[in-house]
A and B are shown apart, each in its own frame.
Chain A
Amino acid sequence: MAKTDTKAKGLDRHGLTDEQLRQIFRNMLLQRQLDNRGFQLNRQGKVPFALGSEGHEALQAGAAMAFNRGKDILAPYYRDLGLALGIGLTPYEIMLSIFARVDDHNGGRQFPNHYSSKAAGLMSFSSILAAHIPHAVGAAYAQKYRGETGRAVLVTCGDGTTSEGEWHESMNFAAIHKLPLVMLVENNEWAISTPLSKQMANPEIWKRAEGYGMPGKRFNGFDPIETYANVKEALDRARTGGGPTLLEGMCYRFLAHSTDDNDMTYRTKEIVAEARKHDPVPNFQAVLVDSGVMSDADVDAMKKDVLRETNEATDKAEAVPYPQASDLYTNLYEGAWQPWQ
């Protein structure tokens, strides 16, 4: 599926209010600003590692808008800054994670972008690809078992991660038990240096759904509204007993995999530039301005506000101390513990 520009299609709002549309756009701006901040801090030698989701903004901001706060569960992966923000994490929480400070949710233990927040319904996950997907299935089983209709689990992963055995095992189990689960694959065409063609023979991941006995669909992940509509439809089905869905949102990874990667070793500037032409952020801005949801002045004000919030979050997080050496030993088990008793 071609990743068409949102711009070209005009505004089909799928029931979203002006306020919601602005929220989506603000999320997208915030993602980009925070991503940049991580990379800047890395270049300044203030943090050892950063990873960006440029190209995923629309997909994540749109999907997050379909998430019911206080009800749904999100089981994300490490490239889901926009989803985390969209379901309620603050820029300050993001910066605490980047700086690995003691007030970070996981106390500075995990890599950046490995968010978790029980209050927000965001499940803790590791760096091990696909390992979180069975957890999402288990959470969906719990919701179904307790008869909690109206709730569902949104689980995400990259295209590359669909090759893992645990992905298959999870899809199969979710389908057998008709679980309230939406598997959203963020297909950015790359797994670090490995292009889609070396990851799978059939590039249409959504087509695997039929084999499992669940609906599958692909959509343009550069379009936040189309994303919202598809994720909402699937989540609504899940919330009302209709079982799981496999969604494939088409997007692109504009940056290198992380600050440790140099993507020019395996792809050309030209193909990235080509993909950049469909950059969802300026495109969605144009849609909102053209359709009168925002004026140019509104956009400028929002950008300033996003920058201000990012700056404040950065300064505040940087001022927080690191965890202490003694924090290494807590929360291994419940209670104090030594291997020799």
Chain B
Amino acid sequence: MATKSKTSGSASTLERRGLTDEQLVGILRTMLMHRRLEGRGFELNRQGKIPFASAGEGHEAVQAGAAMAFERGKDILVPYYRDLGLDIGIGLSPLEVLLSLFARVADHSGGRQFPHHYASKKLGLYSISSVLAAQLPHAVGAAYALKYRKETGRAVLATVGDGATSEGEWHESMNFAAIHKLPIVFLCENNEWAISTPLAKQMANPNIYERAEGYGMPGVQINGFDPIACYAAVKEAMDRARTGGGPTFIEAKCYRFLAHTTDDDDRTYRSREEVAERRKQDPVPTFERLLVEHGVLTAEGLEDLKRSVLAEANEATDRAESMPYPAPHDLYTNVYADSYQPWR
């Protein structure tokens, strides 16, 4: 049941897997916006404007590709904190992203959550905590609800880092989803690191997808630097889930180019050479080149695209920054549905 997909995505061929030019450009735009917004977070942090930022550089392709397989208005996304690209790929606006970075009152969580912990009921984007793997049982519960209500045509996409697959809740979630043949796709973004812990210290068998068979579900490994391969694998799995075929586990091999967060210095645990070596396969310029070489986009078209991304990011930054923080009394709301005091 476990399969390993061929890696396409080399600049020489364009296997478009049914994607139109517009969709291909859409994927690239998500990737560019992903990188731009995260870069913005780091800039704002260095400027002392926000206390914290993190980034998914190296995850752009897998997230933009996967997002293209998500059906807006139908599917549910249960992400983790490194999924900015997925979140904007399913419709989250740059303004919403900046509101989260700036912790403004108009942010979905009202400035309560860390950056990148987005939630939007309208988009089907679930609220998550920072506690690793804790979101996976929620995703399974949501998938159960879809199946129970016989809402075929809908599925849950749940993501997780390589490191979080060591958590017990990952295991429990995989097992339950398989038993009940739930409409869910587990997408593991294997960037080879869990903060400072390399894959070798996280698991003896680095092929995480090989665990899927033990649970009785298909397992797939894909090149996470190839957005089209990711789209195709996620689409196939989501389609299977939507039509009663049960869950799939997908492992997308990618890499974390930056430190874990602005609070981390990755030079303490990995060499610059290793990172530079992996940067050579940076999916963003690779995919840019691919689309230009195959005439999906002209060189000018690409420049326009980048300019529009920058303009949108700038505008979102300015607007979000000008908005107010939550007020002190906002600390007290939404603990319960009603106004509540522990002593009645």
Contacts and interface: CB of A to CB of B under 8 A. Distances in A.
Q: Are A and B direct contacts in the complex by CB distance below 8 Å?
A: yes
A202 B204 CA distance: 22
Contact of A200 (B166, B170, B178, B208): B178
Contacts of A35: none
Contact of A199 (B179, B201, B202, B203): B179
Interface string B158-193: 000000001111111001001101000000000000
A229 interface: no
A200 B175 contact: yes
Given A163-B175, A175-B205, A176-B204, A211 B167 contact: no
Interface stretch (A65-73, A164-172, A255-263): A164-172
Given A165-B172, A169-B168, A199-B179, A176 B202 contact: yes
B203 A202 contact: no
Nearest to A164: B168
Interface in A148-204: 163-169, 172, 175-176, 178, 197-202
A172 B203 contact: yes
B210 interface: yes
Contacts of A212: 203-205, 211
B213 interface: yes
Contacts of B216: 200-202
B168 A166 contact: yes
Contact of A176 (B201, B212, B215, B217): B201
A214 interface: yes
Interface string B96-122: 000000000000000000000000000
A163 B215 CA distance: 10
A214 to B, nearest CB: 7
A211 B217 contact: no
B168 A168 contact: yes
Interface string B194-225: 00000011111100101111111100000000
Interface residues on B, range: 20 to 34
Contacts of A163: 171-172, 175
B177 to A, nearest CB: 9
B210 A168 contact: no
A178 B200 CA distance: 12
A303 interface: no
Contact of A165 (B167, B181, B203, B212): B167
A202 B178 contact: yes
**Chief secondary structure at chain A's binding surface:** helix
A176 B204 CA distance: 4
Nearest to A166: B168
Interface string B251-288: 00000000000000000000000000000000000000
Contacts of A214: 204
A76 B30 CA distance: 53
A208 interface: yes
Contact of B205 (A200, A205, A213): A213
Interface in B53-77: none
Contacts of A205: 214
Pick from B169, B204, B216 the residue with the most CB of A within 10 Å.
Answer: B204
B294 to A, nearest CB: 38
Interface in A115-173: 163-169, 172
B56 to A, nearest CB: 25
Contacts of B201: 176
B308 to A, nearest CB: 44
Contact of A198 (B170, B179, B200, B210): B179
Given A168-B171, A169-B166, A201 B217 contact: yes
Nearest to B176: A163
A207 B214 contact: yes
Nearest to B214: A208
A93 B211 CA distance: 42
A198 B211 CA distance: 19
A270 interface: no
A205 B216 CA distance: 10
Nearest to B133: A165
Contact of B210 (A166, A169, A199, A211): A211
A252 to B, nearest CB: 21
B215 A201 contact: yes
A210 B167 contact: no
A211 B205 contact: yes
Contacts of B179: 197-201
Nearest to B168: A165
Contacts of B167: 165, 169
A176 B168 CA distance: 16
A168 B178 contact: no
A206 to B, nearest CB: 9
A326 to B, nearest CB: 38
Contacts of A167: 168, 171
What are the 4 tightest A-B residue pairs by CB atom distance, in nearest-first order? Answer: A165-B168, A211-B211, A213-B204, A213-B205
Given A175-B203, A176-B200, A213-B204, 17 more contacts: A165-B169, A167-B168, A167-B171, A168-B170, A172-B203, A172-B204, A175-B204, A176-B201, A198-B179, A200-B179, A201-B175, A202-B214, A202-B215, A205-B214, A207-B213, A207-B214, A212-B211
Interface of B: 166-172, 175, 178-179, 181, 200-205, 208, 210-217
22 contacts: A163-B172, A163-B175, A164-B168, A164-B172, A165-B169, A167-B171, A168-B166, A168-B168, A172-B166, A172-B202, A175-B203, A176-B200, A200-B178, A200-B216, A201-B215, A202-B214, A208-B211, A209-B214, A210-B210, A210-B214, A211-B210, A212-B203
